[in-house]
Amino acid sequence: MKPTAYFVLSIGGPIFAAVMAVSTLYALSDWLEEKRLPFLPLALIGFVAAWVLARWLVHHFAWVACPKCGAKSYEMDGVSSRFRCQVCGKAF
Residues 53 and 87 reside in one and the same domain: no
pLDDT at residue 92, rounded to an integer = 87
80 or 61, which is more confident: 61
70 and 56 in a common domain: no
Judgement on whether residues 57 and 68 belong to the same structural domain of the protein: no
User: Is 80 a residue whose pLDDT tops 80?
Assistant: no
Task: Give the containing element (helix H, strand E) for 53.
Answer: helix 39-61
Q: Which domain holds residue 75?
A: 64-92
Same structural domain for residues 11 and 35? yes
Q: Are residues 47 and 79 in the same domain?
A: no
Q: Model pTM?
A: 0.78
Q: Indicate the average pLDDT of the chain.
A: 92
pLDDT digit string, tens, across residues 25-58:
999 999 999 999 999 999 999 999 999 999 999 9
Same domain, 8 and 51: yes
Residue 28 · residue 38 · CB < 8 Å: no
Whether residue 56 sits in one domain with residue 14: yes
Task: Indicate whether 31 and 46 sit together in one domain.
Answer: yes
Region class of 82: left (phi > 0), else alpha (psi between -120 and 50), else beta: beta
